[in-house]
Amino acid sequence: MPQSTGPSPSSVASSRDSLMAMGAGALMGAVVMHMAEQRGDSGLSLAMAVLFVLSGCASVVLAMLSRPHRLKPSQRRGEIKGWMLALGLGLLAAVQVSALIS
């Protein structure tokens, strides 16, 4: 019996989810950098940026959790950690790129 050498559907879905989370993180990073450029060095702008990032991360994770999934609830914890890591990496990458350009 010939076996498929391509990636499994679950690994493709996991890669797509991580890519979506990284893209969302990059978008949030770009927005935060734009907010920082507009407001300067105020405590209010820092509080707004932190609130935006936390609420954005939570909304992305909740949106991804609302989709149908194939994993058991006990296995979802690792997947959520991966999404959060991808969000953070995307956000940090956007901030670094924006800092290099400025």
Q: Tell me: pLDDT of 2 over 60.
A: no
* Domain range for 36: 11-66+73-101
Q: What's the total number of domains in the chain?
A: 1
Axis crossing angle, helix 43-65 with helix 73-101, rounded to the nearest 10: 140
Is 1 part of a structural domain of the chain? no
**Token representation of residue 7:** 């990636």
Is 3 part of a structural domain of the chain? no
Is 96 part of a structural domain of the chain? yes
Q: Tell me the per-residue pLDDT of 51-87, one tens digit each, with 9 for 90 and over.
A: 888 888 888 888 777 777 666 777 777 777 888 888 8
3-state helix, strand, coil in the chain (%, to 5): 80, 0, 20
pTM: 0.66
Q: Tell me the per-residue pLDDT of 15-27, one tens digit each, with 9 for 90 and over.
A: 777 788 888 888 8
Is 4 part of a structural domain of the chain? no
